[in-house]
Structure 1
Amino acid sequence: MSVSIHATEKALFKVFSNDFAFSIPAYQRPYAWTKDQAGELLNDLLSFLGDDSEAIADTNSYFLGSIVLIKGEDDPKADVVDGQQRLTTLTILLAVLRSLLSEKNASKMTKYIYQEGDKIEGTSDCYRLKLRERDEDFFRQYIQCETGLDNVLKLDASQLTDSQRNIQENASYFYGELRKLSEQERERFSHYLMTRCFLVLVSTPDIDSAYRIFSILNARGLDLSLSDFLKSEIIGGILSSEQEKYTRIWENEEENLGRETFQELFAHIRMIERKAKLSETALNEFRKYILPKRDPQKFINEIIKPYSDALEIIKTANYYTDNNAKKNINYLFKWLNKIDNIDWIPAAILYFSKNRHTPDKLKSFLIDLERLAAGLMILRADINERIRRYAKLLTAIEKDVNLYSFDSPLQLTPDEINRIIITIDGDLYPIKRIRQYVLLRLDSALSEAEGTYDYPVITVEHVLPQNPSQGSTWLKWFPNDEERLQYVHRIGNLVLLSRKKNAEAQNYDFDKKKKKYFVSNTNIVPFVLTTQVLQQSEWTSAVIEQRQKDCLESLRKIWRL
């Protein structure tokens, strides 16, 4: 069935007019623009406007991007699918201008914020923009109301929600910047803003076509996500008397995780439920296979809430229990979070949700999950291989089968173990995606899990350099190029440093390198692997071979290889 879609470019005086009554749907996230985005917008506008000597001409026009609306052809009511951030910020800007302009000009600015009803035309009083229910009263009282701006600037920010704080900060920023202009400059800016700044309004009568449109438009605002559309459908399927309760649960979980991680949560939910690679749009897969609208309260109570709580603990490595397993569990979460993909997370969420109150079971599972995830990373398993493996593991967790049997998808196969050993016993340094993880994991084991690795920079360095200088001690110890190349890139010849590489220092002779390159400014080496090197008086093939053997044995113990 064809859908009517309209796209028109309009100056702001036509956008904030009786042609539109904008409303932010309940599924939208809170207002999220900070002073960074608001400042960029204002600076752009003032830059395009130019100075007082320049006449405002067509060449000075400024394009504010596109917004997507659900709107009928003859009805001004418009649900904002994409564009909330810009419309809200522009309304704040209009309110600030109104407060700074002369009384005569201020009254003219009010009509862009507030529509006065007309009995002859049959229209009623209304504000041009209606925010979500949770923000609506605050925005109306402190921004849209003519006397509200002075009061919002005096509010205690610590008592405000994130969205209210953003509104306050952006209003304060605009106020401070526009106060620097003269009355004449503010009048000129107001004229430019309303007549030479344009939005493209894309309107469609239903949410499905709106979702497709917003997905392909490169708008300036912060894009909506799958979770925003699901929120609309799921919350909309709950009795109105219960909607506020479940909206608060949803938004509290989003705030606890942060928007980006909350979006990630839905990809993990989809994987837990579908156990397969995405084959169509995520929205369609949720509608067709996961069916959250069938029992929306249950979906929120039994999936959104516990899975969100699990993901927060997994990401922050902040599991709490009364027994000694807490330290080990959080230790394993920290290592899992260093894996170069997130495909292991759905299995962690599902198992954690089922067993969060049995820490010993959690510990055993996470030991083997980190072993599996690290193994697949070392083997450079591609995304399809990882998804197939973790899908089998999700099924095994759901069916409550023995995850520690020989043929369990949680366990590495003999072939995988053999290939992992070959990889870590070979030239590790050229494999950039895994070398640091392997060395840090090894270093942590050697320090008996006492090492900390939260350094801004960690680099992997050679002891025996790749290209030793002529006449150096290195060439006396390794006169044969073939022999040198046999050792240079292997674990036994690698160390970790908590600073950037120094190309010149890499080729120092061994004694000088130990003193000037492998020691930090405070003379405290943060890595056991590096401390071991400092204890050596020479660095020969025999030393590297023994170190290689010891390191490999330690890694085999860590991962039961």
Structure 2
Amino acid sequence: MAIIKQASRQTLGQLIGANNPPISVPNDSQRQYSWTRKEVNTFWDDFQKFRKARDAGNPSAAEYFIGPIVTITDDQISARSLLDGQQRLTTSTILIAVLRDTLWRIDSEESKAMANNIQRDWIARKTGRRQPTEYFLTLSQFDQNFFRCRIQDWDDVSGNPPPVEQADKFSHNLILESYSYFESKVSELLAEIPTEAERLDWIDDLRVCLITGLVFVEIQTPTSSDANEVFETINSRGRDLSTTDLVRNFLMEKSINGDEKARVNSAWEVILTGFDKREDIERFLRHYWVARHGDVKSHSLYTTIRTALTDRFDKAGSTYSVGTFAADLENSAERYLDLLSCGTGEDDFDAFLNEVATLNADAIYPLLLAASANNDYAELTPLAAACISYYVRWTVIGKKESTLLEERLFGLAKEVSGGLSSDSAIERVRGLVPDDDAFLADFRKASLPKTSQARYVLERIEHWMRREKEVDDVSVVSKVNHVEHIYPQKPEESLRLTAHNDLVNRIGNLTLLHGRKNISASNKPYPQKLPKYATSSLLVVSATQVDKLWDQTANSWRAEGILERQNYLADIAVKVWPSGTALAKA
């Protein structure tokens, strides 16, 4: 059980004020800044509701409890290391900095003095001309310099100095977005206040409300292991749980020396710099684990990792260490980023990776990640081709159970990590691809209500037809295309087919057209659409029997024409996404 030295009520000003022990986020724990517009907006809205209630004298609105924070404190409580609460304290500091900068821009003697007071009392100060700046909140190594440069650094003569740190992590951009959001909100409210004196009073009232009204419960613990246990308990009971944060904290806890901690930080530097969003990191961690150990669900990923690694790290005589795991994680992250960006440098392989991304076929990544550990990217092209055929035939067109596809590919990824050769893996995937008879049957009755899937299928058919006819004009195909329903989604009532709902999203009723979609034109009868079709340079329009969908004699749409065109496209599709020996030759 965790040891708690004490739990005490603290206002924001007591946590980050000049006369209180500074707070720092240790490099061996916690995450980078991660609040998005959604969380910042909630913070602002809740604070404004509290402020208005407090200004109105509501007895129940004397304080706004914003949640617990967890710190490691020494016996003298001369310094505090923050294990939980970073997002709230960082966001509060950003808002305080916005008030400071807003006052400075008012550009009066009084407003500049107020700005300097805010900086000195609640953000950072210098106790002497030759003394280093004392920051009241210090973030971890991933955000520390950027946060200081863009938010905390200040010159009492000229204001905020020009920035020298550029945003190179997604957390840096989130910091800038939070600042811009608060700046716009404060500016909007100030615009309604007529005089400078009233604006200064309003900003000062907002500062007092923020500094004295926001209340936390600080849970002080003596060691990092106690703090981690409290941190995990809070997260597991409904707070913002992040597998990424918990895994890193766990690895730091299990590190036996500074070298291992440095190795973990090196891996996290690659991860945080490489991925654009927290969700991408969570996906990578899951796929990394799946590639080695088989399927695990996102909600149980951290528990699974912690249990498995604890057993390995603590096993008597084991040479498997935190450093070993972190090095493998970093190497895998670099390769995973290559897969996501379609940037391996092998054109054929990258083309298939682009298809994986277009289809959101995430189930394929663990197998490719596992195979990439011991194979050059060029050698993985046949594996990627087989996976695409399997995914399209099974999931996109066949609408079969996607969890079964995942189980098969995840299990195969684990085997590849265990030593199964890539050639064997390729043969195994080819054996999973539904045969031509099954695919033809599925394709002839398939509907594609998802625009992204419809565009992908039609563009792949277009590419194949152009190669076959030796008119592979890349500039034509690469133009922006929209998916067009030949028989309209909202036809005139007199032309509506009886089986409208069944037919409207059938593949036989879909085509591509260049340019933006004109919804009103798309709902017109075929004769009014004909000029667009006749002038199209796309073969999927001009060479796939589009005219069969309209009965010129009866001046009406033909349900049979949709089915006839779909059968025509099915005969092409079986070649675009081959199986069996055709796939082996592709």
Q: How far does residue 333 in structure 1 lie from its aligned partner after superposition?
A: 0.9
Amino acid at match of 1:300: A
Identical counterparts, % of pairs: 18
Look up the equivalent residue of 2:67 and give its one-letter code.
S
CA displacement 1:39-71 (0-9 Å, x = unmatched): 8756765675459x9556546667473344144
**Secondary structure of 1:355's aligned partner:** coil
Deviation at 1:265, TM superposition (A): 0.8
Choose the corresponding residue for 1:284, options 300, 303, 326: 303
Would you say 1:305 and 2:330 are equivalent positions?
yes
Could you tell me which amino acid in structure 1 is paired with residue 343 of structure 2?
N
Q: AA paired with 1:377?
A: T
Q: Distance in 2 between matches of 1:49 and 1:80?
A: 27
- Against the structure 1 CA distance between its residues 5 and 185, is the aligned structure 2 distance closer, same or farther, given a 3 Å change threshold? same
Does residue 439 of the first structure (1) align with residue 447 of the second (2)?
no
State the partner residue of 2:209: 192
What is the CA distance between 1:210 and its match in structure 2?
A: 1.4
Q: 2:483 aligns with which of 447, 452, 459?
A: 459
For 2:341, give the aligned amino acid.
T
Alignment partner for residue 554 of structure 1, among 572, 579, 582?
A: 572
Q: Which residue of 1 aligns with 2:349?
A: 329
1:11 deviation in Å? Answer: 3.3
Using the alignment, how far apart are the partners of 2:82 and 2:292 within structure 1?
A: 31
- Give the conservation status (yes or no) of the 8 Å contact 2:548–2:565: no
Q: C-alpha separation between the residues in 1 aligned to 2:257 and 2:301?
A: 26
Q: Which amino acid aligns with 1:311?
A: Y
Separation in 2 of the partners of 1:538 and 1:160?
Answer: 53
Task: Name the TM-score, length of structure 2 as normaliser.
Answer: 0.72
User: Residue 190 of structure 1: CA displacement?
Assistant: 2.2
Question: In the TM superposition, what is the alpha-carbon distance from 1:367 to its structure 2 partner?
Answer: 0.8
> Does the residue aligned with 1:65 lie in a helix, a strand or coil?
strand
Cα 1:356–1:28 change in 2 (3 A) is: farther
Identify if the C-alpha distance between structure 1 residues 329 and 149 changes in structure 2 by more than 3 Å, giving closer, same or farther. farther
Q: Return the alpha-carbon distance in structure 2 between the equivalents of residues 421 and 377 of structure 1.
A: 14
Deviation at 1:299, TM superposition (A): 2.2
Show the 5 A alignment for 1:44-193.
45=47, 49=51, 57-58=58-59, 63=64, 65-71=66-72, 76=77, 78-94=80-96, 100=103, 110-113=120-123, 128-133=136-141, 135-136=143-144, 147=155, 150=158, 152-156=160-164, 158=166, 182-193=199-210
Q: 1:528 aligns with which of 539, 561, 574?
A: 539
Deviation at 1:22, TM superposition (A): 2.9
Distance 1:133 1:421, change over 3 A: same
Any idea what SS the aligned residue of 1:28 has?
A: coil
Q: Cα gap change, 1:309/1:466 in structure 2, threshold over 3 Å: closer, same or farther?
A: same
| Structure 2 gaps, min length 5 | 104-110, 128-132, 191-195, 314-319, 552-557, 580-586
The aligned amino acid for 1:461 is H
Cα distance change of structure 1 residues 509 and 70 upon mapping to structure 2, 3 Å threshold: same
Could you tell me whether the CA contact under 8 Å between 2:68 and 2:216 is conserved in 1?
A: yes
1:316 and 1:232 map into 2 onto residues whose CA distance is 28
Contact 1:142 1:151 in 2 (8 A): no
Match in the other structure for 2:362: 342
Q: Report the AA paired with residue 132 of structure 1.
A: S
Amino acid in the other structure paired with 1:336:
V
Q: Please say if 1:296 is aligned against 2:296.
A: no
Counterpart residue type for residue 22 of structure 1: I
Query: 2:285 and 2:140 mapped to 1: Cα distance?
Result: 22
Tell me the CA shift for residue 428 of structure 1: 2.5
Distance 1:287 1:41, change over 3 A: closer
- Which stretch of the first structure deviates more once superposed, 157-166 or 10-19? 157-166
Separation of aligned partners in 2, 1:98 and 1:490: 59
State whether residues 487 and 549 of structure 2, in contact with CA within 8 Å, keep that contact through their aligned partners in structure 1: no
CA contact (8 A) 2:340 2:357 kept: yes
Distance 1:369 1:514, change over 3 A: same
Q: Does 1:13 align with 2:13?
A: yes
Note the 1:392-407 alignment, pairs <5 A. 392-398=411-417, 401=420
Helix, strand or coil for the counterpart of 2:447?
Answer: coil
In 2, Cα distance between equivalents of 1:73 and 1:106: 31
What does residue range 379-390 of structure 1 map to in structure 2 within 5 Å? 379-390=398-409
49 and 23 in structure 1: CA distance in 2 versus 1, 3 angstrom threshold? same
User: Is the CA contact 2:72–2:83 (under 8 Å) kept in the aligned structure 1?
Assistant: no
Kindly report which structure 2 residues correspond to 1:238-257, keeping only aligned pairs within 5 A, or say none: 239-240=257-258, 243-244=261-262, 247-257=265-275
Report what 2:372 is aligned to: 352
Moved more, 362-371 or 202-211: 202-211
Paired position in structure 1 for 2:555:
none
- Shift in Å at residue 463 of structure 1? 3.5
Output the CA distance in 1 between the equivalents of 2:539 and 2:62: 61
Which of 278, 286, 305 in structure 2 is aligned with 1:267? Answer: 286
Find the aligned partners of 1:537 and 1:431 in 2 and give their Cα distance: 24
- Shift of the 445–151 alpha-carbon distance from structure 1 to 2, 3 Å rule, reads farther
How far off is 1:148 after superposition?
6.9
Residue 217 and residue 73 in structure 1: after superposition, are their counterparts in 2 closer, same or farther (change >3 A)?
Answer: farther
Distance 2:31 2:289 in 1: 21
Q: Is the 8 A contact 2:119 2:125 kept in 1?
A: no
Aligned residues: 527
Amino acid across the alignment from 2:430: Q
Q: Provide the rounded CA distance (Å) in 2 between the counterparts of 1:400 and 1:553.
A: 38
Give the conservation status (yes or no) of the 8 Å contact 1:98–1:109. Answer: yes
The 3-state SS of whatever aligns with 2:162 is coil
CA deviation profile, 1:194-249 (whole Å, cap 9, x unmatched): 2223345566733134124224445xxxx562222222333551632564465244
Between 1:160-169 and 1:65-74, the stretch displaced more is: 160-169
Counterpart secondary structure, 2:163: coil
Residue 85 of structure 1 aligns to which amino acid in structure 2? Q
Contact 2:536–2:542 (CA under 8 A) maintained in structure 1 = no
Q: TM-score scaled by structure 1?
A: 0.74
The 8 Å contact of residues 115 and 127 in structure 1, kept in 2 or not, is answered as: yes
1:446-485 pair list within 5 angstroms:
446-448=465-467, 450=474, 452=477, 455=480, 458-459=482-483, 461-463=485-487, 469-470=493-494
CA distance in 2 between partners of 1:435 and 1:136 (Å): 46
Q: Is the 8 A contact 2:30 2:245 kept in 1?
A: yes
Kept in 1, the 8 Å contact 2:74–2:80? The answer is no
Match of 1:317 in 2: 342
SS state of the match for residue 214, structure 1?
Answer: helix
CA shift at 1:538, angstroms? Answer: 7.3
Rounded to whole Å, the distance in 2 between the matches of 1:21 and 1:144 is 14
| Structure 2: distance between partners of 1:191 and 1:144 | 19
Contact 1:98/1:106, CA 8 A, preserved across alignment = yes
Q: How does 1:223-242 map to 2 (within 5 A)?
A: 223=240, 225-235=242-252, 237=255, 239-240=257-258
Residues 39 and 339 (structure 1 numbering): CA distance in 2 closer, same or farther, change over 3 Å? closer
Q: 1:58 to 1:500 in 2, by over 3 A?
A: farther
Cα pair 2:24 2:139 within 8 Å, conserved: yes
Q: Secondary structure at the match of 1:281?
A: helix
More helix as a share of residues:
2
159-168 vs 255-264, greater mean Cα deviation:
159-168
Question: Distance in 2 between the 1:531 and 1:338 partners?
Answer: 25
> Matched residues in 1 for 2:149 and 2:525: separation?
72
Partner of 2:66, secondary structure, is: strand
Q: Residues 86 and 536 (structure 1 numbering): CA distance in 2 closer, same or farther, change over 3 Å? A: same
The structure-2 alpha-carbon separation of the partners of 1:514 and 1:423, relative to structure 1 and needing over 3 Å to count, comes to same
- Residues 95 and 144 in structure 1, CA contact (< 8 A), matched pair in contact too: yes
Q: Tell me how far apart the structure 1 counterparts of residues 333 and 125 of structure 2 sit (CA, whole Å).
A: 42
Alpha-carbon distance change, 497 to 248 in structure 1, aligned in 2, over 3 angstroms = same
